[in-house]
Amino acid sequence: MPEQSGLPVPPRASFEPALPADLNLINLHDYERVAAERLAPGPLAYFSGGAEDEVTLRDNRAAFGRQAIVPRVMRDVSSVDMSVEVFGRRWPSPIFIAPTALQRMAHPDGELATARAAASRGMTITVSTSASTDLADIAAVGGPRWFQVYFLADPGARRALVERAVASGYEALVLTVDLARIGRRERDLRVGFQIPEGLQIPNVAIAAGVTPEEVASVEFVDRMTWPDLEWLAGFGLPVIVKGILHPDDAKLAIEHGAAGIEVSNHGGRQLDATIASLDALPAVVDAVAGRIPVLLDGGVRRGVDVLMSLALGAAAVGIGRPVIWGLAVDGQAGVGNVLDLLRRELENAMALAGAPTIADLTPELLA
Ligand SMILES: Cc1cc2nc3c(=O)[nH]c(=O)nc-3n(C[C@H](O)[C@H](O)[C@H](O)COP(=O)(O)O)c2cc1C
């Protein structure tokens, strides 16, 4: 067909678009904003909120603003290698997915969408005890995976939960230690948040041997002390202790069998007014003294946040809410884009900081 319009015909050759497809979604903050427009008030409160005055929630972000990068120049950054080794596995980047509960409340595919997005990028997920999808179904997606353990009150249920995770090929157990009871999240109280009818917590139900409807009656967390960490380490998988802020607790964790530490304040959802994750990191890194990897989560939204965390000694960083925002905006594709945006930002930041490898991310890079 001859061109009739008289307008120039665009070239057919494929090219990298100069601009991303959706200008509303070019960073993780955009995902948060658009997700907030789409989620119902109850789920939005649950996913976004923190405890009480949300001091910690805000400070997790603010802590990154208190650091400054002092970049190096005249170094060959033509290729940047973001890969790291964590527990003997080569990761494409030092970013993993921290556990968040009830992902089907953000998107019908929930944890499966997250697992697929991460698996196709070789990125490690942490599956929550309180996931809204059976841990075995998530395992069937096939990507690298860790399982987050809440210490169920009933010893039989507690053991059954861990045994199922081990049998489903989870590579590490993440013991969350900052939830001796559930923090007071006032956004949830104000909107009267309740878990929607029909949303299940199958890992708990199966472990406790109750019907999905009876899950609410399962006692979730029991008293837990250091010997219980030894019990968990006895299953033979590396145990990462998540929710450490005090350097002395990091030392105790190692004494009692931890293979990794995750510096975290549960995204500001538990005790309010705690130290920000990034601020807690250096003392924990010091106390651990290279014996085991130290991970961090809380407030990571930018490539430069990842860079700063690693410069201060983290082996890798986890993201929590950004995954939820990706899910709420566009399911698996949304999570994938969130992961890609953060990875690309880190790659860019490392190049511009004159740090082409992870080994170049040292404290000297910060003011
Ligand atoms: C909605 C939501 C649910 C969470 N559920 C869990 C959970 O089930 N187990 C757990 O160990 N941590 C849980 N966390 C804490 C995260 O693993 C992580 O510590 C925190 O979200 C990191 O901060 P960020 O959201 O600023 O990235 C949850 C966090 C959020 C926001």
Ligand 1 and 292: CB distance under 6 A: no
pLDDT in tens, 179-204: 999 999 999 999 999 999 999 999 99
pLDDT in tens, 21-58: 787 899 999 999 999 999 999 999 999 999 999 999 99
Cα 98 to middle of ligand 1, angstroms: 6
Percent of the chain at pLDDT exceeding 70: 95
Instruction: Name residue 267's amino acid.
Output: G
pLDDT at 19: 61
Cα 266 to middle of ligand 1, angstroms: 5
> What angle is formed at CA 136 by the lines to CA 133 and CA 140, rounded to 5 degrees?
105
DSSP 67: -
**Closest atom, ligand 1, to C-alpha of 243:** 19
Ligand 1 and 43: CB distance under 6 A: no
Rounded to whole angstroms, how far apart are CA atoms 258 and 202?
27
The domain segmentation of the chain, as residue ranges, is 28-365
Cα 132 to middle of ligand 1, angstroms: 14
Residue nearest to atom 2 of ligand 1 (CA): 100
Q: What is the pTM of this model?
A: 0.95
- CATH hierarchy code of domain 28-365: 3.20.20.70
Task: State the CB neighbour count (10 A cutoff) for residue 80.
Answer: 17
pLDDT in tens, 124-164: 999 999 999 999 999 999 999 999 999 999 999 999 999 99
* 294 and 313 Cβ atoms separated by less than 8 Å: yes
Ligand 1 and 297: CB distance under 6 A: yes
Q: Residue 359 has which token pair? A: 């080994």
Active site residues: 266
Ligand 1 and 103: CB distance under 6 A: no
Task: Choose among 88, 85, 81, 136: nearest CA to 111.
Answer: 136
Q: Which residues pair with 86 in a beta bridge?
A: 89
pLDDT in tens, 81-107: 999 999 999 999 999 999 999 999 999
Ligand 1 and 300: CB distance under 6 A: yes
Of 124, 266, 338, best ligand 1 pocket probe by most atoms within 8 Å of the beta carbon: 266
pLDDT at 16: 44
Q: What is the largest CA-CA distance in the chain?
A: 80
